[in-house]
């Protein structure tokens, strides 16, 4: 709407999504990859996301942490993870659909492309050692992905503390099979700062700093 004075104000929500497309290429069948999508309200009133879906149904893309309905205040960002994993060698195309109350763009479609490569049934790649291999993104705004390797089946724990050692969250505390695994931390309700991510498994211990910015 226009104000009586000399300035013009667009008092409505305005959605902005990055990236504009996602590609998961050269991924071996049976393994998992994921990517982060940032949804921002660049308008002047609350943005209400009423749905997040993958179309068509039955594709090997799924919405992970951050899916569902939510509300964003102006200048706020929400992050959702898109996950790709296929047990069949093929190329896939789908769309990640975001529905909102943006009057100009009530449906945003992000193209998804996935390429799963075939491997022999007994050729599953097993890591050679225990490792906390990555945290992405880092620094991060609200959601980050933690990757870890297990060379054999066993119990593993992934815990978070602040710099004083005070426990913050337990993300993993169970038995996992050998392979590369992912877990996610949604830190929307935690204050900005530096945290420690700690992995423990059969005598292996490693801590990595994580920076939460808001």
Provide the pLDDT for residue 126. 82
Q: For residue 197, count CB atoms less than 10 angstroms from its CB and return exposed for 0-12, middle for 13-18, buried for 19 or more.
A: buried
Tokens read off for 209? 């700093």
pLDDT of residue 118: 67
Find, among 193, 132, 204, 136, the residue nearest to 161 by Cα: 193
Q: Show pLDDT as tens, one digit a residue, over the chain (214 residues).
A: 444 445 545 589 999 999 999 999 878 777 788 999 999 999 999 999 999 999 998 899 999 889 999 999 999 999 999 999 888 888 899 999 999 999 999 999 999 999 888 654 445 578 889 999 888 888 988 888 898 999 999 999 999 999 999 999 999 999 998 988 888 888 888 999 999 999 999 999 999 999 999 8
Does the predicted TM-score (pTM) go above 0.95?
A: no
Residue 54 structure tokens: 């993958």
Task: Please tell me the predicted confidence (pLDDT) of residue 24.
Answer: 92
Q: How far apart are CA 127 and CA 194, in angstroms?
A: 29
């Amino acid at each position: 709407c226009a104000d009586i004075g000399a300035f013009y104000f667009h008092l409505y929500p305005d959605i902005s999504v990055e990236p504009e497309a996602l590609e998961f290429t050269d991924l071996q069948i049976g393994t998992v990859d994921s990517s982060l999508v940032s949804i921002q309200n660049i308008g002047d009133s609350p943005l209400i996301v009423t749905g997040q879906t993958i179309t068509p149904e039955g594709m090997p893309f799924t919405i992970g942490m951050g899916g569902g309905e939510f509300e964003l205040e102006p200048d706020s960002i929400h992050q959702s993870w898109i996950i790709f994993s296929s047990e069949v060698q093929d190329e896939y195309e789908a769309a990640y659909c975001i529905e909102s109350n943006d009057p100009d763009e009530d449906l945003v479609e992000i193209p998804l492309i996935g390429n799963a490569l075939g491997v022999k049934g007994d050729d599953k790649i097993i890591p050679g050692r225990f490792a906390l291999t990555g945290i992405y993104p880092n620094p991060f705004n609200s959601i980050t992905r933690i990757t870890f390797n297990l060379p054999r089946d066993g119990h593993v724990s992934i815990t978070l503390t602040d710099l004083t050692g005070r426990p913050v969250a337990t993300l993993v505390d169970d038995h996992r099979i050998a392979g590369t695994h992912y877990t996610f931390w949604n830190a929307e309700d935690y204050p900005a700062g530096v945290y420690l991510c700690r992995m423990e498994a059969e005598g292996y211990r490693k801590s990595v700093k994580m920076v939460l910015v808001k």
